[in-house]
Structure 1
Amino acid sequence: MYCSVAREALSARIDGEAGPVPAARVDEHLESCADCSAWFDRACELSLRVDLSAITAPDLTADILRSAAAETQQSGYVGRGQAG
């Protein structure tokens, strides 16, 4: 198996996706290829560090809209098509 194929399959495995080749073939390759084994270890570590699914951003929509409305009122801006 080419390392590029193994690494594509390993990347899919890390992401919980189906790989392009059977997992058993990839595992056999890992046992015989030190480079891919090291690559997989580093990729797993990086994936744990960068687990974006664990990050949640606060919903600031209401705060932003309130702030924009307050700035609009203070500036006296009427808006396009709303002038009297």
Structure 2
Amino acid sequence: MGCEQWREILSAQLDGEASRSEIEAAEAHLTGCAGCRGWFDSAASVVRRARTQLAPRVPDLVDAVL
């Protein structure tokens, strides 16, 4: 399996969509592949920033909807 396929599995892991066996296999791959390890660290950082970013302010539409 090439690194591109491993990175798909790693991406699924970040999204909570990878199976336990995929996670275990990907972790084993990361121990021997510095390129994928760097990619995973960068991707995890992006995901973390996206999930913790403040939501933009939006107008209160409660009265208009009701």
> Which TM-score applies when normalising by structure 1?
0.59
**Runs of 5+ in structure 1 lacking a partner?**
66-84
Match of 1:11 in 2: 11
Q: What number of residue pairs does the alignment pair up?
A: 64
Q: Which amino acid is the alignment partner of residue 22 of structure 2? A: P
Provide the C-alpha distance between the structure 2 equivalents of 1:11 and 1:53, rounded to a whole number of angstroms: 19
Alignment partner, residue 48 of structure 2: 48
Could you tell me how far 1:24 is from its partner in structure 2? 2.0
Q: 2: distance between equivalents of 1:57 and 1:64?
A: 17
1:32-75 Cα offsets, whole Å, 9 max, x none, are: 1100000000111111111168737556224667xxxxxxxxxx
Unaligned runs of 5+ in 2: none
For 1:56 and 1:29, how far apart are their aligned partners in 2? Answer: 38
In structure 1, the partner of 2:38 is 38
Structure 1: distance between partners of 2:54 and 2:11: 19
Aligned residues with identical type, % of pairs:
34
RMSD between superposed Cα atoms in Å: 2.8
Whichever residue aligns with residue 6 of structure 2, its letter is A
Query: Is the radius of gyration larger for structure 1 or structure 2?
Result: 1
Which structure carries more helix by proportion?
2
Q: Which has the higher contact order (CA 8 A, sep 6+)?
A: 2
